[in-house]
Amino acid sequence: MKENKIPTTRGVSIKSPEDVRRIATRIISDVFRDNLQIDHAGKVNNLLVTWLKAWELQKVSDFETRLAALEMAREDKA
């Protein structure tokens, strides 16, 4: 009998801050749609903090890219 080398996956993949934001948004939307904000207030808060951190990571990455481009342009002028 052959060994099954195909990896099994469950759920969704998280490979970037955008993935984290997408998943957190989906869960928060479900909680509000089902009107369970009070029951899950702490969980919603944690998801919002997670969403915000993912957003910050993405923005910092964008700033770093822009800064590197500006530094390159500045060095080319010198």
18, 50 contact by CB (below 8 A): no
Nearest to 27 by CA among 14, 44, 50: 44
Amino acid sitting at position 46: N
17, 54 contact by CB (below 8 A): yes
pLDDT the model gives residue 54: 87
pLDDT the model gives residue 40: 84
Mean per-residue pLDDT pooled into runs of 10, the chain (78 residues): 65 81 87 87 87 88 91 88
What does the DSSP assignment read for 11-54?
S----SHHHHHHHHHHHHHHHHHTT-TTTTHHHHHHHHHHHHHH
